[in-house]
Amino acid sequence: MFAISSFLCGLVFGFGLLISGMTQPAKVLGFLDIFGRWDPTLAFVMAGALVASSAGYAMARRQSRPVLSAQHLWPAQCNIDQSLVVGSIIFGIGWGLVGLCPGPALENLASLSPRVIVFVVAMLAGMIAQDFLKSRFASARAIKDTTLASADG
């Protein structure tokens, strides 16, 4: 049941991206060009998404248990830290340069456009690099903490 509901949610999300124009890089770049030929139509799409998701979260928070899971999986971290800010900046730069973010990029893979393929490959490379760097920094931090603890002890 979980797999079916996940598939249906992804299908609705994909149709929403398609219908709203979020899969059209020119439309997205027009929305981001606030000092040029600004196209505000995606602001209405985002506002609608915000209203719908807010209602969904409000309903989910009132339930003692989710429908398709044993427990709620709410985010554990809600502070704004350096990695969130840096990640947001990188995401915004990519979105602004190409007019695609991850969801629409994956949907646009069906077009077999070289531009989209390069974007998705770069996106995957960035994800792999982030995982690698995160594990390296975690390992280095653990070694440093162990060294400091043994020096103190």
What are 9's two structure tokens?
Answer: 């949610």
> In this structure, what is the dihedral angle of CA atoms 132, 135, 136, 139, given to the nearest 10 degrees?
-160
- Is pLDDT above 60 for 153? no
- Is pLDDT above 70 for 142? no
Give the pLDDT of residue 128.
93
- Is pLDDT above 90 for 143? no
CA angle 12, 118, 110 (to 5 degrees): 35
Confidence of residue 59 (pLDDT cuts 50, 70, 90): very high
Confidence of residue 149 (pLDDT cuts 50, 70, 90): low
Residue 95 to residue 100: CA distance in whole angstroms: 5
Residue 153 to residue 147: CA distance in whole angstroms: 10
Give the pLDDT of residue 144.
64
Whole-Å CA distances, 77 to 7, 80, 146: 27, 9, 25
